[in-house]
Amino acid sequence: MPPGCDVYLITGACGFLGERISRLLLEEEPGLAEIRLFDKIARPELTQSLQASCSQTKVSMFEGDIRDSQLLRRACRGASLVIHTASIIDVHGAVEYSELHGVNVKGTQLLIEACIQESVGSLIYTSSIEVVGPNPQGDPVTNGDEDTLYAAHLKFPYSRTKQEAEQLSLRANGEALRNGGRLVTCVLRPMYIYGEGCRFLLRHMGNGIRNGDVLQRLSRPDATVNPVYVGNVAMAHLHAARALRDPDRRPLVGGNFYFVSDDTPPISYSDFNHAVMSPLGFTIQERPFLPYALLFLLSFLMELLQRLLRPFLQYNPPLNRQLLTMVNTPFTFTYRKAQKDIGYTPHYSWEESRKRTTDWLASRLPQEREQIKTH
């Protein structure tokens, strides 16, 4: 397809990551003919804002469910590349498995089929570090890479559905398209993503406000992970898209997965929350309010209560065993392979990423305090 004719489709385009990818593509790829935004709930103001930022590239919106095969085919028609970020993220077991599987797995399968039927040449699937682990035993990984062997033994529904969708995407590499071409796919596995718009950070800040501006400690200081800034994850998608358009790199990248991290220093989840909120006056507990073994037992009992109550009412425990294991397991990975194969290098330093995140949290702090005060 000649330059200026490329059409990109982004699923989950109105979400935390999808919006950043959309804005970055308009900034860095002004020669695109069209960017199509696909999301369950349309945000007309986002479409207008994106269109106003780049008059050369058409911005259009497809509103609907990722499980709507006919809508997917219309959205894919004439597109050259799809970036698939749409999924349900559920770390508390609040969503029924059928819904998780339907969106995360079945939706991905239908999207792949639409790509094949409409001869879309390239697909980037946004996966998650949780397709790797940590496993229930809490086996650690330090500075791992794509060749690191690890027994995942995933039990949490969200992790399993993301892993299944990832495998569908990788197996689709090389599938014959209706126009005689071949579908080329790759997978990006970001670490925990933070930055402006991160709802998990807002939740932690809200809990800290309720606790007298003291952040709760759930993870041990030595349980280091490497969170990644949302702007750098968007940059990785841009580089992956460029690699898939490059005839020389396309065969190298196709069928591969890549960890996406940046230069955020290894830090525990709890200490990371403190790092971005301490400028706002928050302190942090020195140790968890209960020993780890008791927290694990409490998590088990809350999960048991959730299962017993599920036929009658919705109970979502604030903690479960997988989440507790995840935040207490050292689990870090390098981005070297992504740097080598797709040319990804973090655009934002840790200092800038932290400042942007802290400034955003500062802008939300009065509203969060008021909401908590009135409730």
Give the residue numbers marked as catalytic: 158
What are the residue ranges of helices labelled H in 193-291? 199-210, 230-245, 250-253, 269-277
Which residues does 139 contact at the CB level (< 8 Å), separation at least 6? Answer: 133, 150, 151, 329
The secondary element (H helix, E strand) that includes residue 15 is: none
Phi-psi region of 141 (alpha: psi -120 to 50; beta: other; left: phi over 0): beta
Which residues does 148 contact at the CB level (< 8 Å), separation at least 6? Answer: 141, 333
Angstrom distance (rounded) from CA 72 to CA 46: 21
In the Cβ-directed half-sphere of 124, how many Cα atoms lie within 13 Å?
32
The secondary element (H helix, E strand) that includes residue 339 is: helix 336-342
Angstrom distance (rounded) from CA 134 to CA 154: 8
Which residues does 299 contact at the CB level (< 8 Å), separation at least 6? Answer: 317, 319, 320, 321, 323, 324
- Burial (CB count <10 Å: 0-12, 13-18, 19+), residue 42: middle
User: What would the two tokens of residue 324 be?
Assistant: 């507790």
Angstrom distance (rounded) from CA 102 to CA 81: 23
- Which has the closest alpha carbon to 224: 302, 328, 307, 104? 328
Angstrom distance (rounded) from CA 249 to CA 217: 44
